[in-house]
Chains A and B, each alone.
Chain A
Amino acid sequence: MRIPVEKFELENGLRVTLSQDNTAPIVAVNLWYHVGSANEKAGRTGFAHLFEHMLFQGSENVGASEHFELIQRAGGTLNGSTWLERTNYFETVPSNQLAIALWLEADRMGGLLSAMTQTKLDTQRDVVKNERRWSVDNQPYGTCWEKLQELSFPESHPFHHSLIGSMEDLSEASLDDVAQFFRMYYTPDNAVLSIAGDFDPEEAKALVRKYFDPISRGAGRPALPSMGLPPIFGKPLRNIVEDDVSLPRIYMAFRSPIFGSDQYYAASVTGAILGMRRGSRLYRSLVRERQTAADAAAFTFDLAKGADLLVIDVTGRPGISAEELEQEIVRELDALLRDGVSDAEVERAVALIRTDTISAMQTASERADRLSMFATLLGDSDFVNDQTDKYAAVTTDRVNRFIRDRLIPENRATLVYIPRVQPESVSRDAEVAVP
């Protein structure tokens, strides 16, 4: 299965991919800016994400809240999201509304700063602080991603710090920071635009040129500090966190080949063998057979610079301690290192990934997002059509080599969540060691 891909580049460096599909009168517009939390400077954790919020606060010809209103009035859906390496903005609209979606994206890429005010920044800072409370601080295991990044990447590494940021750093962010960040990263040569769905190619190209051509190229983004890392951690890493939870949970991360590399596909298949759906090793063994876990999953983070992570995520059953749960996982890993995986396990994983990959291509928004992803992270949107072949080419040998190289004890970062011991039980039972 292939989707059409037509690419061109504007003089200002904006790379554009079109993918036509006229089955329904729907079109998706998707922009990836090649900037994420990794690009934040010291003392400004969370800024890339706060900045994403500011992009919905109006621009040269668009009022506050008007971006949302215009797209919803056009009968469309929209949002944005921030990740370690990128920030994306997207809308899906009825196909006769393509122009307004492109116009809105161009208006904020070309002229955000005149609309920025201290009041808007202060309000969005409060919104983001509430987002942090909602998704991290008031959520069981909610600190897992920032703790996992902190544990798995050295302090100097751009992936080390929290994406949502600390309350202190969010408080420090100023309008000056907004202006600097915008000029540095929100430029056409640091973005890719994808349009998927129902459009006339000539008309779409003309609209893209009309709205984006007038925007000037940026002065060049500052280089990221070196992202390179040795292939393994070199020693077991661990962190134990007390949280307001009833059941222990263990995240175990393995340093893993970067997204899109040849070895990445073996890592991704290993993740599916270990923890994708109910037939996976961890689920079958720990949830169904031994019944020591309530749930089990494994997946890659999909980072394209320096090193990726393969992550196992297992929650214990009531009555199972964190130590017992960890032993259960380690036993499975030992078996994997000793015996490897079978052809049938690889086939199962590849078959599931294949169905997911093809099913995802049903929606215009997913097509556009993946085109932008491959253009941004791997330099070419054409990779969207290689994925099922790349997975089909993963052999049992390649998976077993990946396991032998990377699932070893020296390459495990273990993050353990344990139920917080209530103060009264500490005093009543003082000899119990609280890690």
Chain B
Amino acid sequence: MNETKPQPGPSREYHFPKFEIRSLDNGIRVLIAPVRKLPVVTVLAVIDATATSDPEEKEGLAELTAQALRDGTKEIDGTELILELERLGTSLEVGADWDSTVASMTVLRDKLDDSFQLFSDVIMSPAFRNEDIDRLRSERLAERLQILDEPRGLAEESFARFLYADGSRYAEPMSGSSESVTAISREDVVNFHAANYSPDATTIIIVGDLSAAEGMTLVEKSFGKWRGNRALRAEAVDRQGNPAMASQIVSKADAAQAELRIGHVGVPRSHPDYFSIVVMNAVLGGLFSSRINLNLREAHGYTYGASSYYDWRRQAGPFVISTAVQTEVTGNTIAETMKEIDRMRTEEIDSSELSLATSYLEGVFPIRYETTAAIAAALANMVTFELPNDYYDAYRSRISAVTTADVLRAAKEHVDPERLQIVVVGDVATLKPQIEALQKGELTVLEYAKP
């Protein structure tokens, strides 16, 4: 065999696709990125209609409203709309998250004009028929049962509820609970749409095989006559419930594994330390070759995989370490994870670990943006978080500017062992003695009862 590892050749330059920013008189913003590799176009609308604006006890309204867009307009009902789009080879994807509502579709270039007209109609003038709202509500309730049947879904939701203070929108599921979804009426949906969907709250993003001029013609023709003004967006309270360390076991008898979440409230997306945190997290638990994964999976075989992430939102989303382990080693897993957190906060990483993280993040950057859908999603991210227009051009140099000292500072300031909250979903009898022995703050046991 060839024993010597080959060295890389000179790298070829890469630029994030160029895009143009325009607007119409009614306030709608338009971003168009011509990408001409294949006859494919992705169209995406980012609307400032957020789950954080859901009224109390009607959580899930933003999501239900987004879903109801797919059920057509006064001219065309849901089934006709679906079939018409699908005959054009596309379908409308919709969803509302904490910081925006997004509607999108990917279509072949020769079908763009017809499908774009339907796309704009459903955003501006959805019918919200009574029977469709009833059906969607019942679909959501079935989905709730399925989410909670999954140990992962149950762990995510239990962790959010345990983490955030009572009354925080972030403590409730993004798409609402069974109770809150049941409380949503057609009138709520109509009002939410009227208040939050307006041209000045909307950005249309078009990426693919067309020119900026062709894109603008489409938008003007379809969205030009839309009128209305945006409502004030509500922001989430992002305060942690327990200021000190605390643990919770959510009981799932005879579970084959323990689903584990460890973390605390993180920082908002706009935080100036963003790039240091991204690199720090890559080393801690973001990469396959991260400290947490190498320890828990490759050294100990406790798990199929372990990772950490900051959930970036406009307000402070959670910082989470997430894994699923054999129930008997849950205590050891938590102890090993704590060791990695301490090491991250006390010692500067060496330059080789730093370069692994930064060269990975720089290198995969072009790989992330190979498709029109991925480029459109990146532009949507830029809009949602009000990032500068040169954000993607500057991304790789911002990453490579992070130093080992920056990483240590990010770990010291943004990973706080004193505030960690632990949630485990699994078999209480096996878990409880292990968690008690760790003495990680007050331990509560939650009997999970199926709704």
A: residues with CB less than 8 A from B are 1, 21, 23-26, 60-61, 64-65, 68-70, 72-77, 92-97, 99-100, 103, 106-107, 110-111, 122-131, 133-135, 137-140, 198, 210-211, 214, 244-247, 277-279, 284, 287-288, 291, 294, 315, 317-318, 344, 347-348, 351-352, 354-355, 358-359, 361-364
Question: Known contacts A130-B304, A351-B88: does B363 contact A294 (CB below 8 Å)?
Answer: no
Distance to closest chain A CB from B260 (angstroms) = 12
Residues on B with C-beta less than 8 A from A288 are: 78-79, 135
B: residues with CB less than 8 A from A are 1-3, 5-14, 37-40, 70, 78-79, 82-83, 85-91, 106-108, 135, 138-139, 141-143, 145-146, 148-151, 255-257, 259, 287-289, 294, 297-304, 324-326, 355-356, 359-360, 362-367, 370-373, 450
Residues on A with C-beta less than 8 A from B1 are: 60-61, 106-107, 110-111, 214
Residue of B2, B7, B82, B300 near A106 (CB, 8 A) is: B2
Residues on B with C-beta less than 8 A from A137 are: 256-257
Instruction: Find the A residue at minimum CB distance from B70.
Output: A278
Question: Known contacts A123-B301, A130-B324: does B142 contact A294 (CB below 8 Å)?
Answer: yes
Interface contact tally, CB-CB below 8 A: 225
Contact B301 A72 (CB under 8 A): no
Residue of B82, B143, B324, B359 near A134 (CB, 8 A) is: B324
Contact B5 A103 (CB under 8 A): yes
Contact B356 A92 (CB under 8 A): no
Residues on B with C-beta less than 8 A from A133 are: 256-257, 304, 324, 326
CA gap between A425 and B450 in the complex, in Å: 14
Instruction: Find the A residue at minimum CB distance from B139.
Output: A294
22 pairs, A vs B, C-beta closer than 8 Å? A23-B37, A60-B1, A61-B1, A61-B5, A72-B288, A72-B360, A75-B359, A77-B367, A94-B11, A95-B11, A100-B8, A128-B304, A134-B303, A139-B150, A247-B146, A278-B82, A291-B135, A315-B142, A318-B145, A348-B83, A348-B86, A363-B370
Instruction: Find the B residue at minimum CB distance from A103.
Output: B6
Contact B13 A25 (CB under 8 A): yes
Residues on B with C-beta less than 8 A from A347 are: 87
Contact A140 B149 (CB under 8 A): yes
Question: Known contacts A26-B366, A106-B2, A354-B108: does B301 contact A125 (CB below 8 Å)?
Answer: yes
CA gap between A318 and B256 in the complex, in Å: 25
Contact A362 B301 (CB under 8 A): no
Residues on A with C-beta less than 8 A from B6 are: 99-100, 103
Instruction: Find the B residue at minimum CB distance from A140.
Output: B149
Contact A363 B371 (CB under 8 A): yes
Question: Known contacts A24-B14, A279-B86, A294-B139: does B39 contact A1 (CB below 8 Å)?
Answer: yes
Residues on A with C-beta less than 8 A from B38 are: 1, 358-359, 361-362
Residue of A123, A211, A317 near B298 (CB, 8 A) is: A123
Residue of A64, A210, A247, A284 near B142 (CB, 8 A) is: A247
Instruction: Find the A residue at minimum CB distance from B369.
Output: A24
Distance to closest chain B CB from A419 (angstroms) = 9
Question: Known contacts A69-B356, A210-B2: does B89 contact A355 (CB below 8 Å)?
Answer: yes
Question: Known contacts A74-B8, A246-B149: does B37 contact A317 (CB below 8 Å)?
Answer: no
Residue of A65, A97, A210 near B8 (CB, 8 A) is: A97
Residue of A74, A358, A363 near B359 (CB, 8 A) is: A74
Residue of B106, B287, B301 near A127 (CB, 8 A) is: B301
Residue of B8, B108, B297, B326 near A358 (CB, 8 A) is: B108
Contact A64 B298 (CB under 8 A): yes
Distance to closest chain A CB from B69 (angstroms) = 13
Contact A72 B138 (CB under 8 A): no
Distance to closest chain B CB from A163 (angstroms) = 15
Contact A364 B149 (CB under 8 A): no
Question: Known contacts A126-B302, A130-B324, A130-B325: does B90 contact A355 (CB below 8 Å)?
Answer: yes
Instruction: Find the B residue at minimum CB distance from A107.
Output: B1
Residues on A with C-beta less than 8 A from B294 are: 65
Contact A364 B135 (CB under 8 A): no
Question: Known contacts A140-B149, A246-B149: does B355 contact A73 (CB below 8 Å)?
Answer: yes
CA gap between A36 and B450 in the complex, in Å: 39
Question: Known contacts A73-B356, A354-B108: does B372 contact A317 (CB below 8 Å)?
Answer: no
CA gap between A137 and B259 in the complex, in Å: 13
Residues on B with C-beta less than 8 A from A125 are: 301
CA gap between A125 and B78 in the complex, in Å: 50
CA gap between A351 and B257 in the complex, in Å: 43
Instruction: Find the A residue at minimum CB distance from B17.
Output: A24
Most B CB within 10 A of own CB, among A61, A133, A139, A244 = A133
Contact A126 B301 (CB under 8 A): yes
Residues on B with C-beta less than 8 A from A96 are: 8-12
Residues on B with C-beta less than 8 A from A362 are: 37-38, 40, 370-372
Residues on A with C-beta less than 8 A from B373 are: 359
